[in-house]
Amino acid sequence: MIKIVVLILWVVCQTGFGQNEALFNRLRAIENSGISFYNVDGINFSKQTVYLDFNDKNLRKVYRQYKIKKKEVKIKDKGIAIANYKTIQREELSDNFTSVSVYYFIKNSDNFIDVFSFGYYDKDDTDFEHRMIQLISNNDIPKSCFSPMKTDKVNFVGRELELGGNCNWMNVNNVQCPYYGQMNWSVHKTKEGSDVAVQNQLKATKIRNGGKVISEEEVDITFEETRVKAKKVHYDLTGVNSLLASMSGGKNLTIYYVSAKVRDVYVSCVLSFWNNDNINPSGLPPLLEEVMRLDQK
């Protein structure tokens, strides 16, 4: 009987280790200004410690900081063993397309407030949230998952891009190089997850940027040496009060939406550039040329 129990425990431990290892191979993170940002499977989430005692008075302060209104319901999540409150915000972007933000306010071992936030489209995933909160709270995320804030070299799906340090992280797996283009990406467990992620980004861009779609077409590209179809969308933001447009000085934005298998993992990637970026004879700015090229017909 003892041997059987030991064997069962060994199998469970090995299964858990294997699942975490696969997750960590997809997960990337950065730390900035005391906040840890994460991305995996198309989900952006973060963790911040607020150095105030976990009590009702201080929680109200933190709610205001995160723009959580008084009328919003805060529940105690019984799936988390320690004291916590959870709230969910949903924003209807269009018919059958919703932005979902989930916040956890958790009492940590020092009696301070740990704030976890998760962002989705359409539906949230409580099991995923609980798993990530446990891993992060236990400091189980490997240091190898974290990217340095300097962008001299960037890990792009297991391949190192040498960008020279003139680029900026806009979020995890989201790098912007002034006049050289921008791209964001996520590594997924399945092809379906990768496809859905780029479809959601396409929907969100059309709704949120306020511009006009001039053209939309499927084009052939080579992405990390893999030939794939990409969705190419050209936006006109002339006269639109857009923060992105005002920062770049551009009026027209070209975006490629890509879902592909790269080095045995599934990747969703959105690559963009403005009309006033430095566009090479290839038709692409330097950053985009690092990972893709346009196939000649």
At CB < 8 A and 24+ separation, what contacts does 154-163 make?
A: 155/28, 156/185, 156/290, 156/291, 157/185, 157/187, 157/224, 157/262, 157/263, 157/265, 157/267, 158/262, 158/263, 158/265, 159/224, 159/263, 161/290, 161/291, 163/287, 163/290
pLDDT at 12 over 50: no
Q: For residue 267, which phi and psi values (nearest 5 degrees)? A: -125, 135
* Mean pLDDT score, 12-22: 60
- Tens digit of each residue's pLDDT (9 = 90 or more) over 267-293: 999 999 999 999 999 999 999 999 999
Contact 40, 23 (CB under 8 A): yes
Nearest to 184 by CA among 196, 192, 193, 175: 175
Question: CA–CA separation, 255 vs 174, rounded Å?
Answer: 14
Give the residue with greater pLDDT, 163 vs 239: 163
State phi, psi for 45 to the nearest 5 degrees. Answer: -150, 165
Per the prediction, the chain carries an average pLDDT of 90
Question: Which residue, 110, 84, 193, is CA-closest to 102?
Answer: 84
Cβ contact 237:246 at 8 Å: no
The mean pLDDT value for 253-266 works out to 95
User: Is pLDDT of 1 > 80?
Assistant: no
Concatenate the DSSP letters of all residues of 163-213 into one string. -TT--EEEETTEEEETTTEEEEEEEESSHHHHHHHHHHHHHHHHHHS--EE
Q: Kindly report the backbone phi and psi dihedral angles of residue 229, in degrees, each rounded to the nearest multiple of 5, phi listed first.
A: -90, 135
Q: Region 205-218: what's the mean pLDDT?
A: 86
Sign for the CA dihedral angle at 64, 68, 69, 72 comes to negative
At 105-127, the pLDDT tens digits run 999 999 999 999 999 999 999 99
Q: Map tokens 């017909």 to a residue.
A: 297
Q: What is the pLDDT of residue 9?
A: 53
Looking at residue 239, its pLDDT comes to 63
Q: Which two tokens stand for residue 34?
A: 């005391």
Do the Cβ atoms of 147 and 30 come closer than 8 Å? yes
pLDDT, tens only, 131-141: 999 999 999 99
Whole-angstrom CA distances from 153 to 60, 149, 157, 178, 182 are 41, 10, 13, 16, 15
Answer whether residue 218 shows pLDDT above 80.
yes
CB 173 within 8 A of CB 45: no
How far apart are the C-alpha atoms of 1 and 69, rounded to whole Å? 55
pLDDT score recorded for residue 242: 53
pLDDT at residue 243 tops 60: no
